[in-house]
A and B are shown apart, each in its own frame.
Chain A
């Protein structure tokens, strides 16, 4: 399995990572090597194996519907470089 330049660019976009053009060849090589390593998994037949998503049995816990925590907007927005009047400032989205 070998990845080409356009695939690296597609993955970078999906991951929302800007990457330098100069770094693309090394990403191609490294990711190809890593995918080759993963190929080893195909040495065993896993047809009837149930996938293990989680080491322990997990279940959704319910709790009594009481107020336990209150909003901490001011505490969380202490970093004022990103906020204005309680909102997060981002580039204009709607023209």
Chain B
């Protein structure tokens, strides 16, 4: 049963093959058994989950249950959960119990999903390896000497090891797609503004976007149907009408035009990954899609632009952690400045401090035009590149990552090398476009994903293409042996 998708679990619960309580117990037992080795959960909410599972069974028995009533899932620890510790992977929030639910959490709870835990992540979502967490590094279930990617590494690792059937993630520069690729699962970053950011702890507000991390594209569609849509509590939430994301799953992709950006198959890309992506593209061609070469000429500039915009917004957003109202407070501060400076020194980890420092510098008097304004102009150029490309193609396909999961500690003390590994994912965030990573094969027993990027609000099309791909491939069904 633990291998089931959300779609299958919904049917199993409806047909009374299993109760929500049994299902929830099973997943919690798996979490407890494997969390020591994977470290993918910061909090396991056993008591609350079992209580809710019993309620869910009653609801189903009385005929008032819905499609998702009683299905266990996990939430990334960046989402506020009422009455439950919400740490964002940081010592700063180690003692923080959120006083309200994030909109994404609220909607998933209302739909009947049962949260069994909060997943580990890079501190404040800053990282590409899930090693910067105050709670220690997350491990990749395909090889526990390797990283699961990040920042949503806990969610990716947990879904890959089937400790939960699906989880939430957030993506500021690839934090849903890159760990999905490294762990062999499906991860969708929706269009900016499609999913509410209310109660999602802010990192870089003009880039952050929450989304589903699942086994299949169909499950991503199911979760999107719950979490997507306007939210008056998020000023950047879009009023653009939402789709029924499952409606187009089975559409034929015959005649679909797919663009392959020349710049995504460059010197940065591992040869084996390049071959694997080419094979993946051939599968799409078998389904009737037509592939053409395209140009995204300023791809390389997306890294420097991103590493200006993201730290700048981070330094501004994280100024709220001052030790006064919530979060870590230093002992016996001698004055107000000491309270601020020392609480922040003690509460933040190395990478977060590095980014706050970078962001503070680029926003400081005299440097704004040279860095932040320049980066915003590059951002416009990158957006224009995509818009030009979408005049001729329906979607864009390429690798999600330059290689497969790297070793723990390999890049931790080399920030530049870590930053450069985000080359294929950050552009979609800068432009605000939706993108999905789906399992596309293995290289030396490690999974790698193919990335599909769509035009604004084209999530349904991405999910449709991904679903068609998953109908003729079985990479998404593979489970690491130690967790079978």
The residue on B at minimum CB distance from A19 is B345
B236 interfacial contact with A, CB 8 Å:
yes
Asked if A15 and B315 sit within 8 Å, CB to CB, the answer is yes
Please encode chain A, from 1 to 43, with 1 for each CB lying within 8 Å of some chain B CB and 0 for all others.
Answer: 0010000100110111111000000010011011101111111
Rounded to whole Å, the gap between the CB of B103 and the closest CB of chain A is 14
- Whether the Cβ atoms of A82 and B357 lie closer than 8 Å is no
Q: Does residue B378 face the partner (Cβ distance < 8 Å to A)?
A: yes
On chain B, the number of residues with a Cβ less than 8 Å from chain A's Cβ atoms is 68
0/1 per residue, B178-198, Cβ < 8 Å to A? 000000000000011100000
- Least CB distance from B245 to A in Å reads 19
Cβ–Cβ contact B304 & A55, under 8 A: no
On whether A51 and B377 interact (CB within 8 A), knowing A11-B364, A18-B342, A91-B339, the answer reads yes
B432 and A56 contacting across the interface, CB-CB below 8 Å: yes
CB of B376 within 8 Å of the partner chain: yes
B371 touches A56 (CB 8 A): no
Q: Is A67 on the interface with B (CB-CB < 8 A)?
A: no
Which of B140-148, B214-222, B324-332 lies at the interface?
A: B324-332
Beta-carbon nearest neighbor of A89 in chain B = B324
| Closest residue on chain B to residue A60 by CB atoms | B235
- A51 lies within 8 A of B238 (CB): no
* A41 vs B300: C-alpha distance when bound (angstroms): 9
A30 to B99, CA, bound (A): 37
B415–A33 touching, CB < 8 Å? yes
How far, in angstroms, from A75 to B325 measured CA to CA in the complex? 12
Cβ of B374 within 8 Å of any chain A Cβ, yes or no, is: yes
Chain B residue nearest in CB terms to A76: B99
Given A17-B356, A54-B236, the answer on whether A49 and B324 have CB atoms closer than 8 Å is no
Q: How many whole Å from A6's CB to the nearest CB in chain B?
A: 13
Contact flag A79-B95 (CB < 8 Å), given A12-B357, A15-B315, A91-B339: yes
Residue pair B380, A40 in contact (C-beta under 8 Å): no
CB–CB A93/B336 < 8 A: yes
Complex CA gap A82/B336 in Å reads: 14
List A contacts of B379 (CB < 8 A). 51-52
B378 A46 Cβ-Cβ under 8 A: yes
Q: Are B326 and A79 in contact (CB under 8 A)?
A: yes
Contact status A82-B326, CB under 8 Å:
yes
CA of A57 to CA of B361 in the docked complex: distance in angstroms? 28
Chain B positions 315-367 with a Cβ under 8 Å from a chain A Cβ: 315, 319, 322, 324-326, 329, 333-342, 344-345, 348, 353-354, 356-358, 360-362, 364
Task: Kindly state the separation between the CA atoms of A53 and B324 in the bound complex, as whole angstroms.
Answer: 31
Does chain A have a CB within 8 A of B206? yes
Q: Interface centre among A34, A55, A78, by most B CB within 10 Å?
A: A55
B300 lies within 8 A of A40 (CB): yes
User: Residues of A at under 8 Å CB distance from B?
Assistant: 3, 8, 11-12, 14-19, 27, 30-31, 33-35, 37-44, 46, 49-56, 58, 60-61, 63, 72, 75-76, 78-79, 81-82, 88, 90-93
> CB within 8 Å of A: which residues of B?
95-97, 99, 191-193, 206, 232, 235-236, 238, 298, 300-301, 303-305, 307-308, 315, 319, 322, 324-326, 329, 333-342, 344-345, 348, 353-354, 356-358, 360-362, 364, 371, 373-381, 383, 415-416, 419, 430-433, 456
A-B contact pairs, 20 of them (CB 8 A): A12-B357, A15-B315, A17-B341, A17-B356, A18-B344, A27-B357, A30-B415, A31-B358, A34-B307, A38-B307, A38-B362, A38-B375, A40-B300, A40-B304, A41-B304, A50-B380, A55-B383, A55-B433, A76-B325, A82-B326
Q: 10 more A-B contacts (CB under 8 A) besides A31-B354, A52-B377? A: A17-B341, A17-B344, A17-B353, A18-B345, A19-B345, A30-B415, A31-B358, A31-B361, A34-B358, A76-B99
